[in-house]
Amino acid sequence: MSLNAERSYKMKLRDVENAFKYRRIPYPKRSVELIALLAISCTFFLFMHTNKLNSRLKEMEVKLQPSEFSALGLTGNHISGHDAGKHDDINTLHGTYQYLKSTGQLWRLNPKFLNNTKFHTSDIIFFNRVPKTGSETLIKLMIELGKINDFQNERSPYSKPTGMYWNVERQEQEATRILDLKEQPAFVYAEHMNYMNIRQFHLPQPIYINMIRDPVERVISWFYYKRTPWSSISMYKVTGKMYNRTYYIKNFEDCVLTNDAECRYDYGLMFKNDPGDHKRQSLFFCGHSPICEPFNTPAAIARAKQNVERDFSVVGSWEDANVTLTVLEHYIPRFFKGSMELYYEPDNGLAFLNENINHWKPKISERIKQIMRANFTQEYEFYYFCKQRLYRQYFAINKHLHF
């Protein structure tokens, strides 16, 4: 470009700039569209960034919750159920699925990391069954499965008291007695007893399984179960004692409202003198240590969670029958292969579903249940912990479900 042409171009450019500067001509329409597009793009970017931050905050909330993994040096695998009412939705199967999906955790679930069956070298199951959780139904199912999958079933005598508060020597004696019953390579033993860590006795640590139930519903069920004729007869055979008529006609709602000793659920309350008073199911997972004795305490719940995560392959619930049976079948196939089909087989299904139902139990008002739940905060923490663990195990093998 020549010098004169360059000067002419610069003068024209200066005239155009002055025209825009002093508004003698309008801005081109394309510039307005460009500015609008830029504003929309910025708004969309801010929305996406805010949504991403929200997801990350949810993940951080999970990581900051006390969990079963805290004791093992891990984080981020527990959805808190501290407040049973507040977290009601997230503690359901659907709610847990949506939470895991929205935070990106669903696709990272791996059954290899959620199944500790592989850490047990012997085909031995201890079913240290919690009373009033449907354990008789599971025993009946396992007896039938034993015929199909070729494993031995044994259970404690009906007259044997619940195994609670055993010292170390007694635990070793009981563990040895149970293992001496084993006659086949695969063996299942069921008994109402607290969890035992028998590694300290240089014995093969068994695969633990158990069932849980809504804490308040379970306590109500136990209150009326022990007043049934068959339970009273069994108790008489064991203890030689029979209660008076007042005991058998006692009403649960009145028992709670009058602060009767039988229906007190105070923080830290001890029940060592009455091992048959099953006010908390966490005791069956915590063990025989003195730390496990006080009612509804964080220390007992933390110990119970740690034991579940380390030694319990599956903790199921008949409140989620399909989920429980699916997880049992996939995580412990040696024993539970075909359990879903057998459970719903027409000739057997109704027998399983109706096992040990108490028709003497009346309906309890929601008001009474709410009063009780206020004193069962830690028990609900453990209950939801186990349920969410079960759901994670289920989703790890069924990631593509649609709700």
Residues carrying an active site annotation = 192
Is residue 245 within 8 A of residue 232, CB to CB? The reply is: no
Is residue 114 within 8 A of residue 69, CB to CB? The reply is: no
Got the DSSP string for 275-331? TT----STHHHH-SSGGG-STT-HHHHHHHHHHHHHHEEEEE-GGGHHHHHHHHHHH
Strands across the sheet containing 312-316: 152-155, 187-190, 124-127, 207-211, 312-316
Kindly give, in sequence order, each residue whose CB lies less than 8 Å from that of residue 352, ignoring residues fewer than 6 positions away: 137, 140, 141, 343
Q: Mapping DSSP to helix (H, G, I), strand (E, B) and coil, where does residue 209 land? A: strand
Provide the token pair at 153: 């079933």
Is residue 312 within 8 A of residue 285, CB to CB? The reply is: yes
CA 78 – CA 67 distance, rounded (Å): 5
CA 58 – CA 54 distance, rounded (Å): 6
